[in-house]
Structure 1
Amino acid sequence: MVSIIAEKKGNNTFYFMRHKSGEKQLKRYLGKTIPKNIEQLKIEFLLEFYHNQWNHHIQMIYQKYQKESKTIPMSIKIQNFENFGIYFTYNTQKIEGSKLTQEDTKDLLIHGITPNKKSKIDTIETLKHYDLFVTLVNSELKKITLDTILNWHKEIFGQTKIGESGSIRTYNVGILGNDKIEFSTVPQIKPKLKKLFNLLDKYDGKITPVELACIVHYNFINIHPFGDGNGRITRLLVNYILLKYNYPLMLIQNKDRKAYFKSLERSQLEDNSIHFLKWFMKYYIKNNKKYL
């Protein structure tokens, strides 16, 4: 992590921040005293350090993906997105406890075969998630607002979470078994969502869209605006952002859910997004290594 270094020159002491990873090092002057907001400065310093480290890979992925994309007919692109949607839907559902297997999901979404002796709720939510994803891929990408996520939530859960779908929760929630992690209180939800959507609306390109998608994921989960379904909505948000900026989409696989949740939980416990950001960016780069 970030070290605070004191260097003496004559009668004066000068303070610096330093972070090392492998052979790379970044050092930043703080002043003759340590600032009161040092913890926030550390977070910003780490974000800058890792942005510089990842940026080359992300730009290479983007450029080669764009080059490849220009050679693919639109009909094939749509087909590829729909195929991706099957695996995306299977994994995002499985992460949340769905009992449908990958074969069940493919049979349901490709052939319309309802899985035998499996949860009706899992089946409905799988269908609705896939239908929504395909609709988003084939539609004009619009500005994300509160109505956007409420509509998405209603589309997926309208038949399975009666009375809650498409609505902001009216009660406080936390993580079962971990009272150290608390999500936004009810009065905080809408103001925090507004701030998050403003961040998206005013995106200036200083960070990559992949980092932007990760930051949105982290903040949306911490707000936790719904009683249930937050994970699926935030993973849709991630891919909506990547789709908007023409980057390869993100597939978080169920087999990696332990590392996914662990990085998220560590960031939540320490109130420092860098742990989740490091996991997310490394995972994205690894999943797109064919473009490197």
Structure 2
Amino acid sequence: MSQTQLLGRIDFLKNEALSLSRKPEFEKVFWDKYRLEFNYNSNHIEGNTLTYGHTQLLLLFDKVVADYSFRELEEMKAHDVALKIVREAALDDSHILTEKFIKELNEIVLVRPFYKEAITADGQPTRRLIEPGTYKKYPNSVLLENGEVFNYASPEETPALIGDLMNWYRTEQEKKELHPVQIAAIFHYRFVRIHPFDDSNGRTARLLMNYILIRNGYAPLVIESADKKGYLTALNKADTGDLQAFIEYISQYAEKWQSLYVKALKGESIEEQEDFRKEIELLKRKLNGDESRLEKVYSKKVCQEVLTDTILPLITAIIKELSVFDDFYLTKTVWIQHKEKGVWRDLTIESLPPIISKISDGFIKAPPVEFQFQYEHKQYKKETAIDFSYHTKLIFGFEQTHYLMQDANGETYFRRLYHQPLTNEEIGKIAASLAKKELSTIKKAVDI
């Protein structure tokens, strides 16, 4: 099919969609599918490792069932927010595409500043602070597979080039000589060629491309991550002067998604061959990651595992955090008390493992079972208005299906099923929060 025929086919499908009654439930079927496909594929192209099933669990059910980096989860949810904003803006007749809007999109997608490995103009590795929504301050060259450095627009050129791109877009929209799909594809390419931001230029370009399509009454499209090689090849051809190759590449996806939109509005199934496999994957993920699924119940062996894998590292971390205050007081006392096994005083990190082992031997009675950990600082060294001491008291409880930790005031820090250990990050946060509480109390007592 020639480019002219392909664009004609897209327009035919668009007009067919306009002739159909747009039932909300049919629209929802399309947008639910599109939301998942676009967020998954656009992020996957850039290296995000969430599977399709995990993307669905995160966006639809706000559940995480695998060990992904916090940034990967954050950027997926932020990308979903950006898509919602793009759709709403494109459907708003009063909205105007501006540089400010583009910067805001990039800021949303990137969430927060972070450091990233980079390549200097002469090919040397470096590390730079990425500032969301801010045009690049340094060259953002990339190292190609053949070892050559590909240079985008310089930081000095970027504002003027983006200004030119915006003027071109407004002019073409008014002239109506180019097809909207052509405008969307060219805008995408020119934006990526400038690479105005330090990160997420591709994601931002794909969002803006779909803004243009929706703005002109067309269905948005998804570039599939499985075809990343074809996508990059089309971009590379445009770099060598064959812009038509990239326009044709984008047009093929535009035709596919316009066709899916028409099918959805007719109430027909828009599941693709791969969707069945994706649904099976999702069911598996939900089963494997269901936090309410009971895998273990109270027993001596199960409690021993929890004590060794979670409680021991947690108490160790708490001792390390609270020990920084030892020099502020005349004395400290650290101990563990177990109703059946007794009291262990003068506790240290070194003496903790055998004590935890002895405690685990005491889990022979029916639940609930508990023991206490206490870290007491007595007599603040400097004179204060009151006789100041600080006492951290924690209660570790073991129930039929859960284990938990509370403080003396009944505040619960966590309550987990036995097959759910605390992560190192969670352990660190709990220990740090206890130290912050003591620090806050000290500041109030000495009027800092």
Q: TM-score range by the shorter chain?
A: 0.7 to 0.9
**Percent of residue pairs identical:** 23
RMSD of the alignment, in Å? Answer: 2.3
Equivalences, count: 241
Answering whether residue 152 of structure 2 is matched by residue 183 of structure 1, we say yes
Structure 2 CA distance, aligned partners of 1:53 and 1:261?
24
In the TM superposition, 1:222-237 aligns within 5 A as 222-237=193-208
Question: Which of the residues 38, 41, 44 maps onto 1:88?
Answer: 38
Structure 1 CA distance, aligned partners of 2:218 and 2:53?
28
In the TM superposition, 1:261-272 aligns within 5 A as 261-268=232-239, 270-272=240-242
Answering whether residue 207 of structure 2 is matched by residue 257 of structure 1, we say no
In structure 2, the residue matched to 1:7 is none
Structure 1, unmatched stretches of 5+, are: 1-21, 23-49
**Equivalent residues of 2:138, 2:155 under 8 A apart:** yes
Higher relative contact order (CA closer than 8 Å, sequence separation 6+): 1
In the TM superposition, 1:57-96 aligns within 5 A as 57-68=9-20, 71-74=21-24, 77=27, 80-96=30-46
Structure 2, unmatched stretches of 5+, are: 115-128, 264-448
Structure 2 CA distance, aligned partners of 1:133 and 1:286?
19
Relative distance call for 1:59 and 1:112 in structure 2 (3 A) is same
Relative distance call for 1:82 and 1:159 in structure 2 (3 A) is farther
Structure 2 CA distance, aligned partners of 1:102 and 1:216?
28
Answering whether residue 81 of structure 2 is matched by residue 131 of structure 1, we say yes
Structure 2 CA distance, aligned partners of 1:114 and 1:248?
30
**Equivalent residues of 1:221, 1:230 under 8 A apart:** yes
Answering whether residue 4 of structure 2 is matched by residue 55 of structure 1, we say no
Structure 1 CA distance, aligned partners of 2:199 and 2:241?
22
Could you report, residue by residue, the CA deviation over 1:93-116 in whole angstroms, capped at 9, with x for unpaired residues? 001011100011000000010242
Q: Secondary structure at the residue paired with 2:67? A: coil
**Equivalent residues of 2:82, 2:108 under 8 A apart:** yes
Q: Residue type matched to 2:139 in 1?
A: N
Q: Residue type matched to 1:218 in 2?
A: Y
Higher helix content, 1 or 2: 1
In structure 1, the residue matched to 2:136 is 169
In structure 2, the residue matched to 1:209 is 180
Structure 2 CA distance, aligned partners of 1:59 and 1:132?
27
Q: Residue type matched to 1:281 in 2?
A: S
In structure 2, the residue matched to 1:276 is 246
Q: Secondary structure at the residue paired with 2:251? A: helix
User: Greater shift after overlay, 212-221 or 191-200?
Assistant: 191-200
| Superposed displacement of residue 51, structure 1 | 5.4
| Superposed displacement of residue 75, structure 1 | 6.4
Answering whether residue 167 of structure 2 is matched by residue 198 of structure 1, we say yes
Q: Residue type matched to 1:147 in 2?
A: K
Structure number, greater radius of gyration: 2
Could you report, residue by residue, the CA deviation over 1:51-104 in whole angstroms, capped at 9, with x for unpaired residues? 544332222122112223xx1234653563244112100110001011100011
Structure 2 CA distance, aligned partners of 1:272 and 1:183?
18
Structure 2 CA distance, aligned partners of 1:279 and 1:89?
20
In structure 1, the residue matched to 2:49 is 99
